[in-house]
Amino acid sequence: MQITPLTGAGAEITGVDIRALTAPQFDAVRQAYADHGVIFFRDQSLSEEDHIAFARRFGPININRFFLAHERYPEIALVLKEKEQKTNIGGGWHTDHSYDAEPAMGSVLVARQLPDEGGDTWFASMYTAYDTLDADTRNEIDSLRAVHSAKHIFGSQTDNFYKANEDTGGRIGNTAAADVLEDVAHPVVITHPLSGKKALYVNPAFTTRIAGYSDEASSALLMRLYAHAMNPDHAHRFKWQPGSVAFWDNRATWHWAMNDYHGERRLMHRITIEGCALN
Ligand SMILES: O=C(O)CCC(=O)C(=O)O
Ligand SMILES: [Fe+2]
């Protein structure tokens, strides 16, 4: 088994069948995941059961409240864009689940049907984003907290790339679940629960404000942090192939699913693993 760091973010793990990881291989995979924030595998052949079994080795599975589920396996959420649909899921920089008090650890995404060209996913390292901030900004944000919400993204009153309208074909199964979610606050800089490294933990989709700042100061700081975190030097563009698997950590990375394959169908199976409160 070989672990190769990639440009920008993440690492590729080769020479391994993730259906049959030995205990030492599993430990090495988990360490690579903690160190790099996202890991990629190629040429895997996972059935739905294999996918579930791999995810379960990392923790309990989070059943998604908003996305459509696989018809036989409720643990698997469908990340689907049909031929005739124009918007996709995740088409902007974000990290999943920051609107929860205990945000999910991450997701294992398996490619099931890919367009001939396009449909890549970008991942950005929030370890690198934090480490490369100037010292004054790091000092300013080290003790701040930010508020996160899902209402404006998944709720019934939204109008954005996730919306369950005729175009998205009701991909978001349950907007009412988002309407009743309480907003939560997390530190702007977290100590990552697996690696112990510091990571920037705000994101353009779900973070609504810096706690205790005026609207103006809050937007100014968030815009500055986002502009820095979006630097392509901190990101890796992953090109999917049949058999590709990506496993990202929501606390150490952002991701962005490109929407450049209109007229073709793309189907991914996603399993999300529970996380913990962040400090
Ligand atoms: O389709 C993808 O590549 C990722 C979509 C996304 O944002 C997610 O599954 O959380
Ligand atoms: Fe996502």
Residue 279 falls inside a structural domain: no
Residue 193's nearest CA partner among 132, 252, 149 is 252
Amino acid at 257: A
CB of 13 within 8 A of CB of 246? no
Sort 166 into a burial class: Cβ within 10 Å, 0-12 / 13-18 / 19+.
exposed
> Closest ligand 1 atom to the C-alpha of 96?
10
Domain CATH code at residue 44: 3.60.130.10
Distances (CA, A) of 251 to 22, 81, 98, 153: 26, 26, 8, 19
Q: What is the pLDDT along the chain (279 residues), one digit of tens a residue?
A: 999 999 999 999 999 999 999 999 999 999 999 999 999 999 999 999 999 999 999 999 999 988 899 999 999 999 999 999 999 999 999 999 999 999 999 999 999 999 999 999 999 999 999 999 999 999 999 999 999 999 888 877 665 545 444 444 445 556 777 777 889 999 999 999 999 999 999 999 999 999 999 999 999 999 999 999 999 999 999 999 999 999 999 999 999 999 999 999 999 999 999 999 999
CA of 206, nearest ligand number = 2
Residue 103 falls inside a structural domain: yes
Residue 237 falls inside a structural domain: yes
What values do phi and psi take at 145, rounded to 5?
-120, 155
Task: For residues 248 and 95, give the distance between their C-alpha atoms in angstroms, rounded to a whole number.
Answer: 10
How many Cα atoms are found within 13 Å in the side-chain-facing hemisphere of 164? 15
Distance of CA 254 from the midpoint of ligand 2 (Å):
8
- Domain of 56 in residue numbering reads as 2-273
Task: For residues 102 and 112, give the distance between their C-alpha atoms in angstroms, rounded to a whole number.
Answer: 29
Residue 6 falls inside a structural domain: yes
pLDDT of residue 152: 85
| Number of domains present in the structure of the chain | 1
Distance of CA 79 from the midpoint of ligand 2 (Å):
9
Sort 178 into a burial class: Cβ within 10 Å, 0-12 / 13-18 / 19+.
buried
Residues in contact with ligand 1 by the CB-under-6-Å rule are 79, 89-90, 96, 107, 109, 121, 255, 257, 268, 270
Residue 227 falls inside a structural domain: yes
CB of 91 within 8 A of CB of 133? no
Residue nearest to atom 4 of ligand 1 (CA): 257
pLDDT of residue 44: 98
> Closest ligand 1 atom to the C-alpha of 256?
7
- Dihedral angle, C-alpha 124, 157, 269, 126, nearest 10 °: 10
Residue 278 falls inside a structural domain: no
pLDDT of residue 158: 64
- Dihedral angle, C-alpha 235, 118, 269, 147, nearest 10 °: 40
pLDDT of residue 182: 86
Which residues participate in catalysis according to the annotation?
94, 96, 255, 270
